[in-house]
Amino acid sequence: MRNLTRPFYIALIAILSAALSFTACSDDDEDNNDNIESSGTVELATGDSYSLSQGVLQLSNEGDSFNTYALILGSSGLDWETFSGIGEVVWLVVYSDQKPLTNGTFTLNTSPQANTIDSTFSYFAVQANPVTMESEVAYKFMPGQGDSLSISKDDDTYEINAVFPVAASDEEQTTITSISVNYSGELIYDEAK
């Protein structure tokens, strides 16, 4: 199993803790999200494909020139309410001048700027354990040509599409490849409403 870096672990715990703290704030009386089908895929240039079935969008910091959002997409094996399970996870830290975050195109960057994604804390992990932060393989998103994330929202449905160059690390080697992410559906604990 591959351990993710300590700074990443700390950032992820902070993001997920913040997301979980808002569960009591959601309006359980609204039934308009009951019929939204959430699904997506992560596809590697190697041909490997993984399913996504849920997402979290959390406003984690309001700033003067931009806001910081945690965008987390996961497979059905993960439970964000109990912070448990094993599954595939896409973690993105998105900086946007929007509030709420509803539409935009973003690129990877190594420093926080509006309309970028923080490459330091953005990963895709296969068979990740949210408690121990171990995974079979961790793919770190790398800034480079052709990287982009587009987000659009229509009513309560988000469309998320991304292509990133990645560095993949497992116990034996590190390789560079590319990854595409496609997701359509609601985002749990949606603070962007």
The 3-state DSSP class for residue 35 equals coil
Task: Judge contact between 139 and 108, C-beta under 8 A.
Answer: no
Mean pLDDT, residues 118-122: 88
Closest CA to 113 of 91, 93, 134, 139: 93
pLDDT attached to residue 84: 87
- Calpha distance 56→78 (Å, rounded): 12
Distance (Å, whole) CA 128 – CA 120: 18
- Judged by average pLDDT, the poorest of 7-21, 110-124, 135-149 is 7-21
Using CA atoms, how far residue 188 sits from 47, 74, 109, 133, in Å, is: 29, 11, 26, 21
pLDDT the model gives residue 171: 57
Q: How confident is the model at residue 22 (pLDDT cuts 50, 70, 90)?
A: very low
pTM of the model: 0.78
For residue 7, pLDDT over 50 is answered with no
What are the boundaries of each domain within the chain?
A: 2-23+37-185
Does 143 or 22 have the greater pLDDT score? 143
Proportion of the chain above pLDDT 70, given as a percent: 74
Identify the residue whose tokens are 């993710």. 4
Query: How confident is the model over 134-188, as pLDDT tens digits?
Result: 888 888 888 876 789 999 999 889 999 999 988 766 556 666 678 999 999 998 7
Q: Per the structure block, which two tokens stand in for 103?
A: 């539409």
Both tokens of residue 68? 């910081």
Three-class secondary structure of residue 119 per DSSP: helix
Residue type, 78: L
Query: pLDDT tens digit string along 48-98?
Result: 999 999 998 989 888 889 999 999 999 998 887 787 899 999 999 999 998
Could you identify the residue written with the tokens 């926080």?
Answer: 112
User: How far apart, in whole angstroms, are the C-alpha atoms of residue 150 and residue 85?
Assistant: 28
How far is the C-alpha of 52 from the C-alpha of 183, rounded, in Å? 7
Tokens of 55: 């997402």
Among the ranges given (28-32, 93-97, 129-133), the one the predictor scored with the smallest mean pLDDT: 28-32
